[in-house]
């Protein structure tokens, strides 16, 4: 899976945490064929309280699942790790729902 950082320097610690979540997704569904994670920092004109945006997309046979956690009013997304967690949690729920529908 491709990991991209926009408007920010790549963070090895964040990259490691993202890879842990990717591994968790691959454990849930071993046939993930591709995907990407995009982490975007707040625009530079925000001096304080900028909110991070994280998008996660995975392809599996028969489907493409996407989670995009745009900041909106979620002030917890001032922390990039919280924004990343929320995006992956949402994608995991989608994957669980997809697998449940597939076996039903």
pLDDT digits (tens, 9 = 90+) for 14-55: 999 999 999 999 998 888 999 999 999 987 654 456 789 999
The pTM of the full predicted model, rounded to 2 decimals, is 0.87
Domain count, the chain: 1
Burial class of residue 87 in the structure, from the number of CB atoms within 10 Å of its CB (0-12 exposed, 13-18 middle, 19+ buried):
buried
Taking only the tens place, the pLDDT of each residue in 77-93 is: 789 999 999 999 999 99
**Closest CA relative to residue 56, chosen from 64, 66, 48:** 66
Q: Rounded distance, CA 84 to CA 77, Å? A: 9
CATH number at residue 97: 3.30.160.100
Answer for the pair 36, 57: CB distance below 8 angstroms, yes or no. Answer: yes
Instruction: Give the domain range for residue 33.
Output: 2-42+49-103
């Amino acid at each position: 899976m491709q990991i991209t950082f926009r408007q920010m320097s790549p963070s090895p610690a964040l990259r490691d945490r993202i890879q842990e979540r990717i591994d968790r997704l691959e454990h849930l569904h071993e046939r993930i064929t591709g995907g990407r994670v995009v982490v975007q920092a707040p625009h530079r004109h925000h001096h304080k309280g900028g909110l991070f945006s994280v998008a996660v997309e995975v392809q599996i046979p028969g489907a493409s699942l996407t989670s995009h956690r745009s900041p909106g009013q979620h002030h917890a997304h001032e922390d990039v790790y919280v924004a990343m967690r929320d995006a992956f949690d949402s994608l995991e729920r989608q994957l669980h729902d997809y697998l449940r529908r597939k076996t039903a």
